[in-house]
Amino acid sequence: MNYQNLILTKEDGIGIVTIKPHKSVNLLNIEVFIELNKMFIDIESDPDIRVVILTGTGNAFVAGVDITDMKDNNPVSIERFIKIAREAGDRIYHLSKPVIAAINGYAFGGGNELALACDLRIASENARFGQQEINFGIIPGGGAIQRLNRMVGMTRAKEIVYTGEVFDANQALETGLINKMVPPDKLMDEARALAHKLLSKSSVALAYAKKAFNTGADMSLSAAMDIDESYFARCFASEDQKEGMEAFLEHRKAEFKNR
């Protein structure tokens, strides 16, 4: 596929997906969502990529959905749009490989929803967040309500959605929305450092851990712990489990083969 809105670069096991500017700042439209879905399908089957970094350009991670494209929709056409948008977010969320959001600036509306679909989030000090849909007479439809509810708790999630207010990276860190806040010029270095830390682990174990987290999030505690038990047992069918435990007993660094 010839991508018009995305750039994929590969660096020693890391795939960096950059959303290119649309108009003056990064804005989402249906073409961007289609490309994101297709790119992450390709990344899933790409053996050269074991960890993904998703980022934007300029002063925006993604500044939201292009309202010009959205405003004249009817319930039927907008449902088609939001299904495609949700599919892109779900594709990121369910990718078997860890995805790190490197949030370089504005993450509004659908942009924040993309960040929420990632496993880990690092933001620059000048990043800004918000679900501003309520200010346009609508609600978030691409996952923010349910993911925020599970991530930061219902009380804070309702405040974010009901008020539509913009909040800064420090508030996002205090809320638990991001893992780390760094100076703007250190953002990609920090994202790469985290990616390399994950590359040192077993890709098999990381994939099972991600499946356990994501699957268990929608279950009762008891059912979710059954999922943990199942994936824990599956680890013992891997070469990496043998290598990891033998390395520990031999007082050396494990050399995982990711199988």
Q: Which residues are catalytic?
A: 113, 133
Please provide residue 46's backbone torsions phi and psi, each rounded to the nearest 5 degrees.
-90, 110
Strands (E), 160-255: 167-168, 180-182
Q: CA of 237: how far to CAs of 204, 212, 223, in Å?
A: 10, 17, 22
Q: Between the CA of residue 222 and those of 3, 176, 227, what are the distances in Å?
A: 44, 25, 9
E strands along the chain, which residues?
6-11, 14-19, 51-55, 60-62, 99-103, 106-108, 120-124, 128-130, 167-168, 180-182
Distance separating alpha carbons of residues 29 and 69, to the nearest angstrom = 7
- Distance CA(103)–CA(122), nearest Å, equals 6
Question: What are the structure tokens assigned to 168, written together?
Answer: 């800064």
Bridging pattern class, strands 128-130 and 180-182: unpaired
Determine the residue type at 139. Answer: I
Task: Spell out a b/e string for 140-163, using b for 16 or more CB atoms within 10 Å of the CB, else e.
Answer: bbbbbbebbeebbeeebbeebbee
Q: Give CA–CA dist 167/155, Å, rounded.
A: 16
